[in-house]
Amino acid sequence: MKLNKTVETILNKQINAEFWSANVYLSMSAWFEKQGLSGMAGWMRAQYQEENSHALKLYDYVIERGGEVKLAAIDAVQTEWKSVLDVFEDTLKHECKVTEMINNCYEVALSEKDHATAIMLHWFIEEQVEEESNVQTILDKIALVGEKTKSLYLLDKELGARQA
């Protein structure tokens, strides 16, 4: 069965949002590199790759269901932050917004009685729980140790161990 047009539209919106999200993380990675925090930069670069893979997962799904993918221009993203804490606070806000968008996609799929899309979106819903939890854990560590040089060094080293 061909993809419902309403569902196709919301999934295209999400595909484009995921590519924009990837750029947000790449910008954060560049900011961390400028600060000499290559571990945090690597963590954000892994986030960039993950967001691209999310966009492509949706892209492939739309194609598989006989829909049409419509890519749009990607809006500019923020490039400067005040501190490491500021970056990770923005990251959590961003992930909460993505969760809201995924939940909206799910609601549209349900309202259109597109159960296949609703089931596919379960993966994204679970992924968002993990994303928010991971960032909250980092924020909790920053709250615990602060942003002192030695603390940042250890957190940078820990985050740099993440595999994409």
Contact residues for 52 (Cβ-Cβ < 8 A; gap 6+): 18, 19, 22
Phi first, then psi, for residue 147 (nearest 5°) are -115, 35
Q: Are 68 and 62 in contact (CB under 8 A)?
A: yes
In the chain, alpha helices (H): 5-34, 38-64, 84-111, 115-145, 149-160
Sketch out the chain's domains with CATH numbers: 5-160 (1.20.1260.10)
DSSP line for 28-56: HHHHHHHTT-HHHHHHHHHHHHHHHHHHH
d(CA 65, CA 8): 9
d(CA 89, CA 164): 21
* pLDDT in the model for residue 147: 82
| Ranges of the chain whose pLDDT falls below 50 | none
Q: What is the DSSP letter of 161?
A: T
pLDDT in tens, 94-131: 999 999 999 999 999 999 999 999 999 999 999 999 99
d(CA 48, CA 64): 24
Which tokens hold the place of 96?
Answer: 């909460």
Helix, strand, or coil (residue 80): coil
* pLDDT in the model for residue 164: 67
